[in-house]
Copies of this chain bind each other. A is one copy, B any other.
Amino acid sequence: MALSTPVHLTPRKKPRQTRATATLDAIFEATIQVLVVDGPRRLTTTRVAERAGVSVGTMYQYFPHKQALFYALNARYLDTLAEKIESACRAQRGAPINQMIEALVTTYWNAKTERVEVTRALYRSVVEIDNEPLIEAFSGRVDAATAAMFASASDAAFADLPAVNLTLLTTIFGTVRSVFERNLPISEGQAVHRQLVLMCIAYLEAVKIPSPRHKDGSATGEL
């Protein structure tokens, strides 16, 4: 289930003693703090080490370079996020499609807005790393989870499920990111959140092939 990682970005060692585990946690925590307070550009290895209460040398025992630190941080974060989405999708199996969308958007939204500064810091830290493998692994997991969910919808089917699935995910993830990038106030963010749900529902309504037990027979899927 863990995200795959290219060799050159792998942590140098796994901690074997409790002292080492504590050190690793301290380094991660310090990285987030420095990222949030000083921003990615002023994050120096010395500063992170200082804040974590270890020497620079120690950091380099666990991470071959600064990049690897950001990489590991994002891997951790995306792993947790993918798990949340997977579990939400599992919980929605067989539900009506509108409820699925509502659950998906809200799960993602809440995960991102839970700790706004951390999310923003991570969005910005991503640029420092070659994050394609991370994004790919994350996308693969989420694609699979949501596709399975949509396929199980009680009131709709889709002529080209992969395309619909990809469009929905790209739209939802992108919209949330856009809200962060524009630094929208919470109230406007919430408005966009609600509108986004409406938008996804309207889209699905337009492209779905209604299943027999559903009354509405308005639109046919045109892909």
Q: Which A residues form the contact surface with B (CB < 8 A)?
A: 40-41, 67, 124, 126-128, 132, 135-136, 139, 163-164, 166-167, 170-171, 173-179, 181-184, 188, 191-192, 195-196, 198-203, 205-207, 218, 222-223
**Closest residue of B by beta carbon distance from A206:** B202
Contact of B206 with A128 in the complex, beta carbons under 8 Å = no
A40 vs B135: C-alpha distance in the bound complex, in angstroms? Answer: 19
A223 vs B167: C-alpha distance in the bound complex, in angstroms? Answer: 24
Provide the residues of chain B in CB contact with A135, threshold 8 Å.
Answer: 181-183
A174 vs B40: C-alpha distance in the bound complex, in angstroms? Answer: 22
Provide the residues of chain B in CB contact with A167, threshold 8 Å.
Answer: 191-192, 195-196, 199
**Closest residue of B by beta carbon distance from A125:** B127
Copies of this protein in the complex: 2
Provide the residues of chain B in CB contact with A218, threshold 8 Å.
Answer: 218
**Closest residue of B by beta carbon distance from A218:** B218
Nearest CB on B from A201, distance (A): 8
Provide the residues of chain B in CB contact with A207, threshold 8 Å.
Answer: 195, 198
Q: Indicate whether A178 sits within 8 Å of B188 (C-beta atoms), given known contacts A124-B127, A128-B41, A206-B198.
A: no
A40 vs B183: C-alpha distance in the bound complex, in angstroms? Answer: 24
**Closest residue of B by beta carbon distance from A170:** B178
Partner of A175, one of B40, B67, B174, B191: B174
Contact of B171 with A199 in the complex, beta carbons under 8 Å = yes
A172 vs B41: C-alpha distance in the bound complex, in angstroms? Answer: 29
Q: Could you show 30 A-B contacts with beta carbons less than 8 Å apart?
A: A41-B67, A126-B127, A132-B183, A135-B181, A135-B183, A136-B183, A139-B182, A163-B192, A163-B195, A166-B188, A166-B191, A166-B192, A167-B191, A170-B178, A170-B184, A170-B192, A171-B178, A171-B199, A173-B178, A174-B174, A174-B176, A175-B175, A199-B200, A199-B206, A202-B202, A202-B203, A202-B205, A203-B203, A205-B206, A218-B218
Interface centre among A135, A139, A163, A171 (most CB of B within 10 A): A171
Provide the residues of chain B in CB contact with A206, threshold 8 Å.
Answer: 198-199, 201-202, 205
